Structure 1
Amino acid sequence: MKMKRVLFIGFGSLGLFVGIAGMCGWSGARVFRRIMNNELRVMNGDFKLFKWCISGVPVIGDIENLINGKTYYVLLQNNYELRATGGFMGSYAKISTERGIKEIKIQDIYVPDGQIAGHVEPPYPIQEAFRIGNWWLRDSNWDPDFASAAATVAWFLDQGGEPSADGVVAVNQLVVLQLLKVLGPIEVKDYGKTVTEQNFYSLAQTNAEWGWFPGSSGKRDFLGAVSKEMIEKVKKINLIGLINLIDLMNEQLRRKQVLVWMRDGQLETAIGRLGWGGRLEDEWDKNSDYMYIVESNLGANKANCCVTRLIDQEVSGGDEKVTVTWKNGGDYRHPLPPVFWGGDYRNYVRVVIPSSHNVKAVKMGDRVLRKAGPEDFATANSLRQSMTDDMYVVEPRGELQIIGFWVIVSVGEKVRAEIEYKSVRAGEYKILVKRQPGIEGFDYKLTVDDKVKVDEFVDQDIWIK
């Protein structure tokens, strides 16, 4: 009798849990559709149930505030032209909310750029690469710390005449391809094309670069048409599809192919706790070693279609050496659209390590680079007219430091860089190794005191203990 009672209570509780979960799921799906159609009403029964279901959940628990009178910008980043936060920002989506999504507008990055008045001093590598004497919105996702980069992007958007940003989200092209897997082929009626994960990049680049000039609308119009059809498909998604969509976005947030910044301090703190914020010191305990290699393609091409990298780290006592080998597997030195979009890889690389480490040497192949001094920056960055590929720069960043230098990898070639430094080591060796947004991963080998601890493909941030 006692066993029957236990089973009854157990199955009854399970049934109640499944029932509540089901109601939460269905109410969530209906609320999602109303948000997408700008039809949300806070007194609606579905919304009340959904609000109860998500009460206490970080960030989305404050859904009423998130989707009412706010403006968000989604940066559409092309990771074939890698930048610090994932890729070159060719376009962006402006999302206006008013009790749901009021409007989604796709815009070319060059439109607000053309509205910015005055002079903004550029980081020195951007000036050395492009020699235009100014810093523009299109290159403003420069900082390897996403919170800093996003705040800079928001400032540039404001200067370009856009409404103040309540939040900035960076989405890499890799995510769009995964989204197409979930949604299936997209019929873009305005262009008479069917967009799939296989042809999306080629179609987007063809419309972006053929006959391109500043202010041209080919890329914006095509991405706008694709986005419009994708949004319509999302609006009609069923519960199973919505679950798959949420699972996909959660995975991409975890893998940092989607990064989020919020102007509201409390929301930004919550995002940091979830690991979505892309801050340099996220997840680091400050007592262990740390390594984050950040690349920026400043060659005005899509060379990252064909670039791979291998990282070999050796630790012996307090001596460390990191060797990075890049390979450019492209076939053409200059882009040949629509067949090939790559080219030589002009990469400004930044190696982020703890500030307690003492850099001994930085080498490019057989060349030993010199450490930059004040005399190298005696004049304004905007006046620089040549590439200083014979030096490395050390930038203090709190309890971290950033070592920056040029790496040029021509088509069909391999190039090796080495960084040697002294570290402060106490007890068992531990390290946080970060993977840059925009790349799928890299081959990584760690040898500690002549013993191989790791030899694998790293596709996300990892702790090694």
Structure 2
Amino acid sequence: MSDGRLPVQRRWIRWVIGAVVTLLILAIGWVAIRGISAVSEMQAVASSASQMRGFIADGELERAELVAPRVAQHAATAHDLTSDPIWRGFEFVPWLGANFTAVREVAEVADSVASDAVAPVLEIAGGIDLASFGFTGSKIDLAPLAEVEAPLAAASATLSAAETQAQQINADAALPPLADAVREMRDVVTEAATVVGALHGASVLLPPMLGADGPRTYVVAMQNNAELRSDGGIVGSLALMRAERGTISVVQQASTADFPPLTDPLPLSESTVALFAEGPGLYVQNITSIPDFTEAGAMLALRWEMQFGQKVDGVIAIDAVVAAHLLEATGDITFGPFTANSETILSILLSEVYATFPDPVEQDAVFAQAANELFAAALTRGDPQKLIAAFAVAAEENRIRIWSAHPEEETLLAASTLGGTLPVDGPRGPYVGVLLNDATGAKMDYYTEASISTAVGVCRGEPTTQVRVTWTNGAPADAEQTLPQYVTGNGIYGVHAGSVRTMIAIYGPEGANVRAVDRDGAEEGVQTTTLGTRSVVQHTVLLEPGESTTVTVSFTGTGAGDRLTRLQHTPTIGTPDTTRAEFTCE
């Protein structure tokens, strides 16, 4: 006869199950409470960081210093809440685990940035005004820069490591609210790394480059985006600038007419010849077709030396859009019959000048006046804080390229975006790129526009990266009748007036191979070569007014299919529409 009790073994099993369920419920409650608290702390980090960035941008560093401890406290708390063994254990739970991992990694990044980067940068605020970086009129105060180099170096290293870690966080695997938080924090870290890295680079490079140890001279090449080249646009005019003890002045100007074509081309890299033949080695206007500015900058310096017998310390290339950014800091300028502001300068320089002055000699004279007025305004009446912001935006858009004849400086420049080298793939992900070069022989790119998409996935078992470029000729249908002949080219180079001929080069990740190429869904003959270890494919397309074409290149192999793939492209007048598209295996 049973006494109603379960056998010992069954009771033991129930106790174990009950204990496990109880512990699981407690664990879930534990991580839920800590998770809610951690997300709240991270939201506080984002809010305080945004407030602090605003104070720094406004030059109110004392107020930024008051906010910094709050950022550090919230970040440290979030890190503590997501670092215990129970939290780490939940990272292995299928489907949900990625969310726990993402929150922990974001908290780690935020804590590292707040404690090891933000505090050191703000501690040097008393030594230099970060809002203007010592810039007053045509002079930069070089003295404080050496003092802040070391703390900026430490902060830059911390932020660089944090950015690499942040980029590795898989936001796509997290739930939408958490994914948005991860992406927001990632953007904040990238922005901070870029700004502090630029400040550190400036603290190292500005003193010698601006003549702290003796006078320096630099060729400034101004590019016209209405006739595209890989680095931005055709070289339209040049100037010689002198820097001595932080004081900057313009000492000479020249037009491309001062640089007649060479009889024998200067030596070029194999990839440059494969893409553009000998043009960059013969014509100064075409040197910026070279996509690596370490090669292009040295060649521009050589052409200046050959023409004027003056050795220079470096070359700076800027495009027309930089002028628009600078006028936001300087206000209006007047040159020839024009008065320009930041809203009108591009239409004047890239369109109206040609309609008003059909003679290229008169055009060059107006461009020289514009450059003179722009430099004078920037060096004498520009608001320092706005000038620094204008240069920062232009640099971020890859519209400023710098080459130095001094090897130690060139090494530092080549490692930065200002150096204009081909990108280097690494832990932050591989690069793909699009180079646009006009072959119309005119100024029709004022009417063109591009949209670029990238997609990554697996196709037939192989990781694949696709780059798709849509190129549009937006010129009016009656361009042949309504636009100046100098703008359309008037058929001189075999292109019907109003049409646009463009060379579109697309390169893939380092070590990847070209798997498929098509234009508007059909195969056609293309140029293929390599840029370093990158495969590159170049189409030459001809579009009538209103026409568009789409070029697609798929890459497989090393670096292909990486979700961290990043894009670089030729700076155009308007920023191309760049998107990450859904991958389709064709």
Same fold (TM over 0.5): yes
Corresponding residue of 1:445: 580
- What displacement does 1:98 show? 4.3
- What displacement does 1:448 show? 4.2
Query: Structure 1 or 2: larger strand share?
Result: 1
Listed one character per residue, the Cα deviations across residues 374-425 of structure 1 (whole Å, up to 9, x for unaligned) are xxxxxxxxxxxxxxxxx22222233212222212222111112232343346
Corresponding residue of 1:153: 300
Select the structure with the greater relative contact order (CA < 8 A; seq sep ≥ 6): 1
1:70 maps to amino acid: R
SS at match of 2:288: coil
Measure, in 1, the Cα distance between the counterparts of 2:394 and 2:145: 24
Match of 1:104 among 251, 254, 265: 251
- What displacement does 1:266 show? 1.9
Measure, in 1, the Cα distance between the counterparts of 2:135 and 2:222: 26
Matches within 5 A, 1:8-87: 20=126, 28-30=134-136, 32-34=137-139, 48=143, 52=147, 57-61=200-204, 63-66=206-209, 67=211, 68-87=214-233
Q: Structure 1 residues 367, 198: CA separation in 2 closer, same or farther (over 3 Å shift)? A: same
SS at match of 2:571: coil
Conserved? CA contact 1:312–1:444, under 8 Å: yes
Conserved? CA contact 2:280–2:290, under 8 Å: no
Query: Structure 1 or 2: larger helix share?
Result: 2
- What displacement does 1:277 show? 1.6
Measure, in 1, the Cα distance between the counterparts of 2:482 and 2:267: 33
Q: Structure 1 residues 272, 260: CA separation in 2 closer, same or farther (over 3 Å shift)? A: same
Measure, in 2, the Cα distance between the counterparts of 1:187 and 1:443: 35
Corresponding residue of 1:394: 528
SS at match of 1:292: strand
SS at match of 1:281: coil
Normalization by structure 1: what TM-score?
Answer: 0.72
Q: Structure 1 residues 26, 197: CA separation in 2 closer, same or farther (over 3 Å shift)? A: closer
Measure, in 1, the Cα distance between the counterparts of 2:145 and 2:293: 31
Measure, in 2, the Cα distance between the counterparts of 1:397 and 1:211: 39
- What displacement does 1:352 show? 0.9
Identity of aligned residues (%): 19
- What displacement does 1:175 show? 1.2
Query: Highest Rg: 1 or 2?
Result: 2
Conserved? CA contact 2:328–2:386, under 8 Å: no
Measure, in 1, the Cα distance between the counterparts of 2:318 and 2:280: 28
- What displacement does 1:76 show? 0.9
Measure, in 1, the Cα distance between the counterparts of 2:330 and 2:509: 43
Q: Structure 1 residues 423, 184: CA separation in 2 closer, same or farther (over 3 Å shift)? A: same
- What displacement does 1:296 show? 0.5
Conserved? CA contact 1:106–1:224, under 8 Å: yes
Matches within 5 A, 1:16-415: 20=126, 28-30=134-136, 32-34=137-139, 48=143, 52=147, 57-61=200-204, 63-66=206-209, 67=211, 68-99=214-245, 100-113=247-260, 116-120=262-266, 123=273, 126=276, 135-161=282-308, 163-188=310-335, 191=336, 193-204=338-349, 205-207=351-353, 210-213=357-360, 216=361, 218-237=362-381, 241-282=383-424, 284-285=425-426, 288-317=429-458, 318=462, 319-331=464-476, 332-334=478-480, 336-337=482-483, 341=487, 343-365=498-520, 367-369=522-524, 391-415=525-549
Measure, in 2, the Cα distance between the counterparts of 1:427 and 1:401: 15
SS at match of 2:290: coil
- What displacement does 1:245 show? 0.5
Conserved? CA contact 1:323–1:416, under 8 Å: yes
Listed one character per residue, the Cα deviations across residues 101-152 of structure 1 (whole Å, up to 9, x for unaligned) are 35333321221236x4544589466569xxx998211111122222222223
SS at match of 1:411: coil
SS at match of 2:546: coil
SS at match of 1:140: helix
Measure, in 2, the Cα distance between the counterparts of 1:187 and 1:428: 49
Conserved? CA contact 2:321–2:346, under 8 Å: no
- What displacement does 1:22 show? 7.1
Conserved? CA contact 2:223–2:317, under 8 Å: yes
